[in-house]
Amino acid sequence: MEKRSQAVPTDEEIRAALTSYTDRPVSAEKMWANIGGALESQPRTRWQWPALQPWLALGSAAVLCLIIILSRPTPPPPQPPVEIGPQIMRFAAPAPITASARPADGGVTVELTAVDEVLLGESAAAVRIVRQEGTGQAEVGHATASELAGARLTPGEVRHVFLPVPLPSEPGTYQVQIQLEVVGAEGPHVVDLFTSLTINREE
């Protein structure tokens, strides 16, 4: 009995269940009326583009020339005071996910914690380990991880991702940069996460 209930459903059973579950009347007439209306309001056909292109090119060139001529004699305008507020707000905008990293055997383990419910995109997460060198940065290693692609994380959910990145040989603190694709209300977008990685080597 137990064995029978563990059986994998057949293709036909899955197909029949999904088909009968979604067997609903579709408001096709209403939908087509809306689609037709939207297409009417913004007609776009292929043959119009070649006709428009010379005008567009000519117009763009004229505007460009005008900008160059007008910008030459005028002295550079005084720099407006730097508005710190909006910049801080941009950086302080809460990411839907936080990260921390720690060294592991043969690589780095990244711990991701969802702040809100978050749906990750299909692109692989990219991870870079960098070292600060004066004003610039030098990459120590990088890797990608696709096991989280398409994952949905609930608030507070923690996921660990192991990355086979060669660990820096010198002890110190390194920056770990993680790029994740997140599917939000406006569609998929890339979220950059930064965390530090401390290497304590006992030689």
Partner 1 sequence: MEEQQLIQCAKEGDKSSMEALFRMHVDSAVRTAFMITHNWQTAEDAVQEAFIKAFRSLGKFQEGKPFKPWLTKIVVNQSRKAWARFHSPWDELDLQLADESSQGLPETRLLEWEKRSHLIEAVKLLGEKHRLPLVLKYLSGLSEAEIGEVLGLPVSTVKSRLYVARRQLAQKLAAIERGEQDGKAQPGRAHR
Stretch binding partner 1 (CB under 8 A), from 3-11, 73-81, 162-170, 194-202: 3-11
Site string for partner 1, 46-75 (x = CB under 8 A): xx----------------------------
Q: How many other C-beta atoms are found inside a 10 Å radius of the C-beta of residue 164?
A: 11
- Of these, 55, 187, 202, 203, which contacts partner 1 (CB under 8 A)? 187
Decide whether 11 or 83 has the Cβ nearer to partner 1: 11
Beta bridge partners of 149: none
Q: State the DSSP H helix or E strand holding residue 71, giving kind and residue range, or none if neither.
A: helix 48-71
Decide whether 36 or 171 has the Cβ nearer to partner 1: 36
Q: CA-CA distance, 188 to 118, in Å (whole number)? A: 11
Q: CA-CA distance, 82 to 91, in Å (whole number)? A: 16
Q: Dump strand ranges (E) for 41-185.
A: 97-104, 107-114, 118-120, 125-133, 136-145, 152-153, 158-163, 172-184
Query: Can residue 84 be called a binding residue for partner 1 (CB under 8 A)?
Result: no
Q: How far is CA 72 from the centre of its chain?
A: 40
Query: Can residue 94 be called a binding residue for partner 1 (CB under 8 A)?
Result: no
Decide whether 36 or 106 has the Cβ nearer to partner 1: 36
Q: Give the footprint of partner 1 on this chain (CB under 8 A).
A: 2, 5-9, 11, 13-24, 26-28, 31-32, 34-36, 38-39, 42-47, 117, 119, 122-123, 146, 149-152, 183-187
